[in-house]
Amino acid sequence: MKLTLGFSPCPNDTFIFDALIHHKIDTEGVEFEVFFDDVETLNQKAFRGELDITKLSYHAYAYALKKYVLLDAGSALGFGVGPLLICKNPQNLANPNLKIGIPGKYTTANFLLSLAYPQLQNKVEMLFSDIEEKLLNGEIDLGLIIHENRFTYQDKGLQKVKDLGEFWEENTQCAIPLGGIVIKRDMPTEIQQKINRLIRKSVEFAFANPKSALPFIRTHAQAMDEQVMYKHIDLYVNKYSVDLGLEGKNAIQTLFTQAEEKGIIPKPQQALFL
């Protein structure tokens, strides 16, 4: 059986999926055709139902529920891992005309921004890796950064306005659900469970052999320092990546409940979890 699989070229995803797609574990007869895309592109592919299995933002999952169901393995949740709102020069956040660069409308980062600063609506979608440069050039007033940019923005003279992860944690006492792995809802249950099992084994292999994935990670993060790559992995790959557990599922349910109450997402009509 061959299935299509989409995930980002970021170190946390390549770390998680290395063993799976390179047959370092027994894949139980399943082959994978892999597509590498930034998270917002993956979100859009999920809306169209293009891939059998894909990474997506939890915000986007609310709009892909009819087509996909969430797996227990492979997710990115955690404490101290949230997106950062940054600037080049101090800004008055009460000003609704401020232009904010965001990494995608359906990213969890944008969801958290909407919760923390609902007055900031002048948003421009762009590739997450372009946001710092746009700030430096004065094309935007504020930038919403994710992934490895949280380790590099200060080196460029940029300043933190708000850690939106801290905002979420202070208000919910929950881990921040950033991204998850979903599978087509209409696939047989035994296939869904098999893929979940394989992804869990891939994460466990990666934890047991942390340097095994380094060549693969480096291939897709060529400009990134190795220390930054592993900081990135340590931040986003943890116990929730092995299995969401009750704590992880509660955090996701909290996100969906708050988003629904504030009119950010529609009321879910399908079960969230496998």
**Could you tell me whether strands 31-36 and 2-7 are parallel, antiparallel, or unpaired per DSSP bridges?**
parallel
Q: What is the full per-residue pLDDT of the chain (274 aa) written as tens digits?
A: 999 999 999 999 999 999 999 999 999 999 999 999 988 899 999 999 999 999 999 999 999 999 999 999 999 998 888 899 999 999 999 898 999 999 989 988 998 998 899 899 999 999 888 999 999 999 999 999 987 777 789 989 999 999 999 999 999 999 999 999 999 999 999 999 999 999 999 999 999 999 999 999 999 986 678 888 888 898 889 999 999 999 999 999 999 999 899 888 889 999 999 9
User: How far, in Å, CA of 148 to CA of 224, rounded?
Assistant: 9
Annotated binding-site ranges for substrate? 55-57, 108-109
Which region, left, alpha or beta, applies to residue 138 given φ > 0 means left and ψ of -120 to 50 means alpha? left
- The pair of structure tokens assigned to 261 is 């109450």
Write the single-letter amino acid at 267.
K
* Other C-beta atoms lying within 10 Å of the C-beta of residue 44: 17
Rounded Cα distance, 215 and 269, in Å: 42
The 10 Å CB-count burial string (b at 16+, else e) for 197-234 is ebbbbbbbbbeeeeebbbebbeeebeebeeebbbbbbe
Instruction: Catalogue all structural domains in the chain, each as residue range(s) with its CATH number.
Output: 2-78+177-261 (3.40.190.10), 84-172 (3.40.190.10)
C-alpha 136/C-alpha 89 separation (Å) is 10
- Give pLDDT, residue 223: 67
Cα separation, 7 vs 12, whole angstroms: 10
Retrieve residue 249's tokens.
């599922």
Q: What's the gap between Cα 262 and its chain centre?
A: 21
Beta bridge partners of 163: 84
State residue 17's pLDDT score: 98
CA distances from 64 to 13, 89, 143, 189, 272 (A): 20, 38, 26, 18, 10
Q: What is the Cα–Cα distance from 259 to 63, expressed in whole angstroms?
A: 12
CB 57 within 8 A of CB 179: yes
Q: How many CB atoms lie within 10 A of CB 93?
A: 17
Residue 21, pLDDT score: 97
Which residues are part of the catalytic machinery?
Answer: 147
Record the tokens describing residue 269, joined without a space.
Answer: 């009509």
